[in-house]
């Protein structure tokens, strides 16, 4: 795909030291269409009809044709982001070994516009921005802790750049042990390979507003690689997954009653207060 080839191997920057880069890929929009036609028999072949077929597959969750395409990323990411990411079990992962190699002195410090207090309405998210002197104090603490942790890591390793002992009086601690006091904002790296179906599942969860900003930043960069790789599928993905919504059976009845002209409030809706708020947000009310 020419648009994806344009950024193949390029480190697309994410956060302060991270990146996502596409290393390899297999298949395109056509591979999905071709696989779907095996199950539907001989059919139409015009581009407009390919687009229609892809939309149909996406709408009706006919997912296996999307598994015909694969993509491999090289990702550099903070350890706390990696912990969220690794929960997605349907990928193949190979991570940088801090038993074998020494970690670089690179740690994540949020940009000021991402420093926020605990949300009051949502136990999981961020609320108001932390600004001024308080923000400066936060940044100082984050930097000081990481600097100290790395300085102690280096002392425990007791190795200079050529691998010789810095302090000849002791051998230094094994790399697999020396790393354990590093904080979660230090960067790790991995190769992450998945198929298109599972990539879209990952993106639908991690490019979503409910995901933590730091992992969302990676998902947003990957969304752009999806657009370059499989433009028709990307379009259908935005239409039927990312920007779509699932309505519960009770929620659907509420909409039907509203369309029939009835004034429905939360108490009469059969929905919990939270579900009601979510439905009203979807309806833009
Ligand atoms: C906003 C947000 C908040 C979260 N909060 C928490 C939290 O507080 N605590 C926490 O522990 N996790 C949390 N998670 C992680 C979440 O519960 C999932 O583990 C993660 O999103 C991976 O999703 P998945 O299992 O669908 O993905 P994958 O592992 O990629 O799996 C894809 C799909 O494959 C199928 N599948 C894979 N493995 C199995 C299996 N063994 N059995 C059956 N089906 C399988 C499922 O259909 C699954 O949806 C959160 C995720 C998000 C997006």
**Which is catalytic among the residues 21, 175, 179, 206?**
206
- Closest ligand 1 atom to 212 CA: 1
Whether the CB of 210 sits within 6 Å of ligand 1: yes
Ligand 1 centroid to 88 CA: how many Å? 6
Protein residue with least CA distance to atom 28, ligand 1: 88
Low-confidence ranges of the chain (pLDDT < 50): none
- Distance between CA atoms of 40 and 164, rounded to whole angstroms? 65
Whether the CB of 122 sits within 6 Å of ligand 1: no
Whether the CB of 90 sits within 6 Å of ligand 1: yes
* Residue whose token pair is 């009469």: 268
Query: Diameter of the chain by CA atoms?
Result: 85
Residue 206 annotated among the catalytic residues of the structure: yes
Q: Which residues contact 193 (CB under 8 A, 6 or more apart)?
A: 24, 70, 71, 72, 73, 91, 92, 93
Ligand 1 centroid to 73 CA: how many Å? 20
Whether the CB of 88 sits within 6 Å of ligand 1: yes
The whole-number pLDDT of residue 214 equals 97
- Distance between CA atoms of 218 and 206, rounded to whole angstroms? 8
* Cβ-contact 85, 181 below 8 angstroms: no
The whole-number pLDDT of residue 97 equals 87
Whether the CB of 97 sits within 6 Å of ligand 1: no
pLDDT in tens, 152-187: 999 999 999 888 999 999 999 999 999 999 999 999
Q: Show the beta-strand stretches assigned E in the chain.
A: 12-14, 18-26, 70-78, 92-95, 116-118, 126-129, 187-195
pTM (two decimals): 0.93
Which residue of 86, 87, 201 sits with most ligand 1 atoms within 8 Å of its CB, as the best mutation to test the pocket? 87
The whole-number pLDDT of residue 44 equals 54
Tokens of 27: 């298949």
């Amino acid at each position: 795909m020419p648009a994806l080839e344009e950024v193949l191997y390029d480190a697309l920057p994410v956060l302060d030291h991270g990146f996502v880069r596409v290393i390899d890929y297999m298949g395109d929009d056509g591979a999905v269409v071709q696989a779907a036609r095996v199950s539907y028999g001989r059919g139409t072949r015009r581009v407009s009809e390919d687009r229609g077929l892809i939309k149909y597959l996406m709408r009706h969750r006919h997912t296996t044709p999307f598994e015909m395409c694969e993509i491999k990323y090289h990702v550099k990411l903070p350890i706390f982001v990696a912990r969220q990411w690794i929960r997605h079990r349907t990928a193949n992962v190979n991570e940088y070994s801090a038993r074998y190699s020494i970690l670089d002195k690179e740690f994540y410090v949020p940009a000021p516009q991402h420093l926020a207090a605990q949300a009051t309405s949502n136990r999981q998210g961020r609320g108001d921005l932390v600004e001024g002197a308080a923000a400066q104090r936060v940044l100082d603490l984050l930097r000081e802790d990481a600097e100290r942790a790395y300085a102690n890591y280096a002392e425990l390793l007791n190795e200079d750049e050529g691998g010789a002992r810095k302090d000849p009086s002791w051998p230094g601690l094994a790399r697999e042990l020396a790393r354990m006091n590093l904080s979660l904002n230090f960067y790790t790296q991995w190769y992450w390979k998945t198929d298109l179906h599972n990539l879209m599942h990952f993106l639908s969860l991690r490019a979503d507003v409910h995901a933590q900003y730091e992992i969302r930043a990676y998902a947003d960069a990957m969304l752009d690689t999806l657009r370059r790789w499989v433009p028709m599928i990307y379009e259908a993905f935005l239409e039927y997954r990312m920007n779509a919504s699932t309505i519960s059976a009770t929620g659907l009845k509420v909409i039907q009653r509203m369309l029939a002209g009835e004034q429905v409030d939360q108490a009469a809706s059969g929905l919990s207060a939270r579900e009601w708020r979510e439905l009203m947000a979807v309806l833009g009310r």
